[in-house]
Amino acid sequence: MYKLRELEREDLKKINKWRNDPNLIACLGAPYRYINEDVDQEWYDKYLHARSNSVRCAIVDEEKENEVLGLISLLNINYINRTGELHIMIGGSENRGKGIGTFAVRAMIAHAFNNLNLHRIELGVLETNAAALRLYEKTGFVREGVKRKSNYKNGKYINMIFMGLLKEECSMEASFKYEEM
């Protein structure tokens, strides 16, 4: 059984390993760079000071002593426009394709709409990340636009697809299916 819990300082060692994995970062919008543990400690400290407009959760497996499998975040929360930006990273390749991302996205959608009273969740995904595109479409996100050749990855420029989900478009029943996993 998977669950979300707030990110903890103890999670940083594992997250730092993921953030230094060039194959994983190649699938994400962020550029690859070497990140030492001190940088991640500072990143975490900044998060603690920005908790009013961000939510960072570890995705954990309760059956494996709360092993951290990934990270999902809702950032840049704007309480006037009631929007937030979704980001997700499933750490080890052995954990991909198992429904962990689907669980986490549905759980964060439910949290955003039902607890934070947001109206819209948005995200950007590399056009080359077919698995993420399928995940977002499966969980209700709609393609809204393309930022052409905006991200430089491994010597090539790649399009960024922008997607959004409005509260009224979202079946809350679908959002709560994560509890069944």
Residue 174 pLDDT: 45
What are the tokens at 62?
């309760």
Residue 168, class by beta-carbon neighbours within 10 Å (0-12 exposed, 13-18 middle, 19+ buried)?
exposed
> Angle 12-19/37-49 helices, nearest 10 degrees?
120
Q: Which domains does the chain have, with CATH numbers?
A: 2-180 (3.40.630.30)
Which DSSP state fits 177?
G
Which DSSP state fits 115?
I
The single residue of 2, 44, 136, 152 carrying the catalytic annotation is: 136
Dist CA 78 CA 37 (whole Å): 30
Dist CA 38 CA 89 (whole Å): 20
Q: Per-residue confidence at 175, pLDDT binned at 50, 70, 90?
A: very low
Which DSSP state fits 136?
H
Residue 16 pLDDT: 95
DSSP string across 115-151: IS--SEEEEEEETT-HHHHHHHHHTT-EEEEEEEEEE
- Is residue 152 part of the annotated active site? The answer reads no
CB 84 within 8 A of CB 77: yes
pLDDT at 138 over 80: yes
Whole-angstrom Cα Rg for the chain: 16
Using one digit for the tens of pLDDT, what is the confidence trace for 53-82?
999 999 999 888 889 999 999 999 999 999
Phi and psi dihedrals of 126, rounded to 5? -65, 140
Dist CA 111 CA 79 (whole Å): 14
Using one digit for the tens of pLDDT, what is the confidence trace for 28-59?
998 888 999 999 999 999 999 999 999 999 99
Element (H, E) at 161: strand 156-166
**Percent share of the chain, pLDDT over 90:** 80
